[in-house]
């Protein structure tokens, strides 16, 4: 892998929580995310997936080790610089959509632009409208967020994560709260946007079948990465769900051929 | 500026429903209370000051009281018995010479709004067989109306201009002498000089002694009656604010050895009363402000707790601590503005209605027809109450804003 392609580099990252007792959440994680990557971060509950995602998203600080995005080391940035980094380079999608109830669909989607500029430029607004159109939300633009279904709200949340054209999208179980149909739709939207917009995606999931739809699978166990492979290299059985149970198209196109 | 913060703060505020409405109402009631109490104390003080001080000057300059000379200092024949009792020389009339110069100096002092000379002395007035003991007061009428508020207290006629044959007497004297405007009365001084004058006006200063005994006339005839030559017995002045009288008195003392007395010396109890009223008013206003502060701060803290998830999400989008803090400070400002406007409008309307409702029994207070409650609303009271509400809103939101700014997005999203 050429170094120039690296978007995010995590080196020997440790995270220890000290709340009375010491809990080691991450132990020596090394991970490189390249531009346009579509990566699944999988593992058991409590394995450290979300902790790693928070560190990669500059929401939390590593106890030791370094993380850099486009060469900017998080450890050397001030609070304001980290906030700016999040605003310009990183998008987040959570298990729950977390739309702001007081705002409409369009306003929620525009929010990252508003946080940064106060008023989105016409160009930015047009881009948001095109994204919302792609996810089928145009008829609901002016509906309050509270009137959306779970699937609709999560689609808006995905658009919201993309409006700043970030180089990295971090999604923490983005389909975890959705039914099968909505989960599939949201996943497909993210896949499409990864291809078309070019943002790298890191999806935390506990569902191996969903993970198999990505390009690369990173498995974390007891705070350390135990597997980091392209999904195309996975043996078929690892990605094969029992018939009738898999909510997604479990086999990647490349694996089918 | 701060469009993002303003947008979020406004949306929080406008969608806050009954929580927002009740908080605004609580602070608005405090604003209303501040306007009512301040207008009431203001009206009460204006009325009392007018009734008690309106008819007298705020600073009086008089000749120094003559030091009595003990008999043993007198050149007496040896062996003559000496009486050791010392008494003041109150019987002796003393006067101010060169008073015009002093008036010019006082006139140039800051905050002095009126200064005039008086020639005063005792005597009596007579109309036919009726005679009344009187205080003869010779004045410069055009100056005197700026020293005491007599122009507004005229029951009949005008105080100024006043011709040399004219006098202005009190309502009680007019009643006892049974005289009307244009009638002649005879004025005799203790010095034995007599003159005949026409009644040009009748005043009602609300002071029984003044209404019964005071006789105003031009300075020149009074000087003649009192045998003062060109001298006067008093120089009186008024300042724009009654509480500046002491400072004016101090300033005058630098230029003269005459006795200079401020109203605060002669009316200590009244001054204490005014200050007591002001303290009571300030205490009530202070308690209202404090109660509002706690009310808004409490609601804002609950608000921050309710919105912590949203704050976390905004932080993941790149909102800085300062931006988050400003959102809640602006919400506090919104509470203050809304409550100030609502309470200010209701308080002003209520105060104006009350101060224009006459008292059923009639009567006067402060030289005006008495109202049910002696309120006097002023724009400055409204402005002060609104400013207080705004300060309360912003101050009350400082702690919640800091708490919001310090929220850890990881924590709030994890616990959401």
C-alpha distance from residue B20 to each of B28, B34, B119, B337 (Å): 12, 21, 67, 13
Looking at the partner chain, which of A60, A83, A102 has a beta carbon nearest the beta carbon of B11?
A: A102
pLDDT of residue A253: 40
Q: What is the pLDDT of residues A3-25, one digit of tens each?
A: 437 899 999 999 999 888 889 99
The predicted model gives A235-245 an average pLDDT of 55
The predicted model gives B278-300 an average pLDDT of 87
**How far apart, in whole angstroms, are the C-alpha atoms of residue A193 and residue B102?**
92
8 Å CB contact between A218 and A31:
yes
Q: What is the pLDDT of residues B178-199, one digit of tens each?
A: 999 999 999 999 999 999 999 9
Give the strand pairing for A200-205 and B194-203.
unpaired
DSSP lists the bridge partners of residue A219 as A42, A227
Query: Is the previous residue joined to B268 through a cis bond, with omega within 30 degrees of 0?
Result: no
- Characterise B182 by phi-psi region: left (phi > 0), alpha (psi -120 to 50), beta (else): left
Q: What is the CATH number of the domain that holds A251?
A: 3.40.50.300
ipTM comes to 0.83
- Report the predicted TM-score, pTM, of the whole model to 2 decimal places: 0.74
8 Å CB contact between B43 and B375:
yes
- The enclosing H or E element of A156 equals helix A150-162
C-alpha distance from residue B170 to each of A206, B50, B141 (Å): 101, 17, 16
Interface contact flag, A114 B313, Cβ < 8 Å: no
Closest Cα of chain B to A16: distance in Å? Answer: 15
Phi, psi for A218 (deg, rounded to 5): -115, 120
Provide the residue range defining the domain that includes A81: 3-256
Q: Hey, CA dihedral for B350, B353, B355, B359, is it positive or negative?
A: negative
Q: Is the pLDDT of residue B101 over 90?
A: no
8 Å CB contact between B255 and B115:
no
Determine which of A48, A114, A119, A121 to mutate to test the interface with B (most B C-beta atoms within 10 Å).
A114
Token pair, residue B372, equals: 């049910």
- Characterise B17 by phi-psi region: left (phi > 0), alpha (psi -120 to 50), beta (else): left
Token pair, residue B295, equals: 């009310």
The helix-helix angle for B17-53 and B379-396 (nearest 10°) equals 140
Which of A55, A86, A226 has its CA nearest to residue A166?
A86
pLDDT of residue B203: 92
DSSP lists the bridge partners of residue B125 as B132, B187
| Count: domains in chain A | 1
Place of tokens 């999608």: A93
Q: Which of residues 68-107 of A touch B (CB under 8 A)?
A: 79-80, 83-88, 92, 94, 96, 98, 100-103
Token pair, residue A186, equals: 């949201």
């Amino acid at each position: 892998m050429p170094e120039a392609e690296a978007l995010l580099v995590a080196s020997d990252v440790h995270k220890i929580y000290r709340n009375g007792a010491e809990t080691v959440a991450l132990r020596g994680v090394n991970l490189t995310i390249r531009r346009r990557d579509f990566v699944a971060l999988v593992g058991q509950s409590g394995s450290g997936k979300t902790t790693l995602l928070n560190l990669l998203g500059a929401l939390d600080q590593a106890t030791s080790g370094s993380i850099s995005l486009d060469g900017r080391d998080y450890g050397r940035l001030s609070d304001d610089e980290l906030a700016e980094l999040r605003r310009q380079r990183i998008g987040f999608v959570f298990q729950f959509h977390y739309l702001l109830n007081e705002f409409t669909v369009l306003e929620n989607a525009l929010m990252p632009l508003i946080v940064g500029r106060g008023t989105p430029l016409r160009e930015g607004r047009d881009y948001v409208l095109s994204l919302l159109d792609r996810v089928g939300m145009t008829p609901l633009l002016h509906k309050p967020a509270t009137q959306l279904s779970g699937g609709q709200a999560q689609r808006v949340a995905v658009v919201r994560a993309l409006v700043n054209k970030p180089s990295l999208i971090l999604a923490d179980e983005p389909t975890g709260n959705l039914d099968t149909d909505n989960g599939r739709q949201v996943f497909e939207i993210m896949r499409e946007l990864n291809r078309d917009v070019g943002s790298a995606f890191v999806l935390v999931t506990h569902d191996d079948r969903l993970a198999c739809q990505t390009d690369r699978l990173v498995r974390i166990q007891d705070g350390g990465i135990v597997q980091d492979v392209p999904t195309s290299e996975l043996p078929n059985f690892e990605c094969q769900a029992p018939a009738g149970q898999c909510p997604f198209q479990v086999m990647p196109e490349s694996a089918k051929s | 500026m701060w469009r993002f913060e303003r947008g979020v703060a406004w949306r929080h505020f406008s969608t806050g429903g009954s929580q927002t409405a009740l908080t605004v109402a609580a602070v608005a009631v405090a604003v209303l209370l501040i306007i009512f109490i301040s207008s009431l104390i203001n009206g009460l003080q204006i009325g009392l000051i007018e009734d008690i001080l309106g008819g007298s000057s705020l600073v009086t300059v008089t000749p120094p009281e003559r030091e009595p000379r003990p008999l043993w200092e007198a050149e007496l024949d040896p062996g003559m018995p000496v009486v050791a009792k010392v008494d003041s020389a109150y019987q002796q009339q003393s006067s101010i010479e060169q008073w015009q110069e002093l008036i010019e100096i006082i006139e140039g002092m800051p905050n002095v709004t009126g200064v005039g000379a008086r020639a005063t002395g005792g005597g009596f007035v007579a109309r036919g067989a009726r005679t009344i003991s009187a205080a003869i007061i010779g004045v410069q009428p055009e100056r005197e109306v700026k020293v005491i508020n007599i122009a507004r207290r005229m029951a009949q006629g005008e105080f100024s201009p006043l011709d040399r044959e004219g006098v202005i007497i009190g309502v009680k004297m007019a009643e006892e002498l049974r005289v009307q405007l244009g009638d002649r009365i005879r004025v005799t001084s203790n010095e034995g000089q007599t003159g005949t004058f026409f009644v040009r006006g009748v005043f009602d200063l609300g002071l029984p002694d003044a209404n019964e005994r005071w006789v105003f006339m031009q300075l020149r005839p009074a000087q003649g009656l009192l045998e003062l030559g060109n001298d006067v017995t008093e120089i009186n002045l008024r300042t724009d604010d009654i509480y500046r009288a002491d400072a004016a008195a101090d300033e005058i003392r630098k230029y003269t050895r005459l006795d200079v007395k401020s109203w605060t010396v002669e009316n200590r109890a009244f001054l204490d009363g005014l200050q007591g009223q002001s303290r009571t008013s300030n205490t009530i206003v202070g308690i209202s402000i404090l109660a509002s502060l706690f009310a808004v701060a409490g609601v804002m803290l609950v608000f921050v707790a309710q919105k912590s998830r949203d704050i976390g999400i905004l932080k993941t989008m790149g909102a800085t601590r300062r931006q988050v803090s400003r959102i809640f400070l602006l919400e506090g400002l919104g509470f203050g503005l809304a409550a100030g406007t609502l309470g200010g409008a209701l308080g002003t309307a209520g105060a104006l209605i009350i101060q224009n409702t006459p008292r059923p029994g009639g009567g006067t207070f402060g030289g005006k027809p008495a109202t049910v409650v002696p309120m006097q609303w002023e724009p400055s009271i409204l402005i002060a109450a609104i400013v207080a509400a705004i300060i309360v809103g912003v101050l009350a939101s400082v702690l919640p804003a800091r708490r919001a700014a310090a929220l850890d997005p990881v924590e709030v999203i994890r616990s959401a």
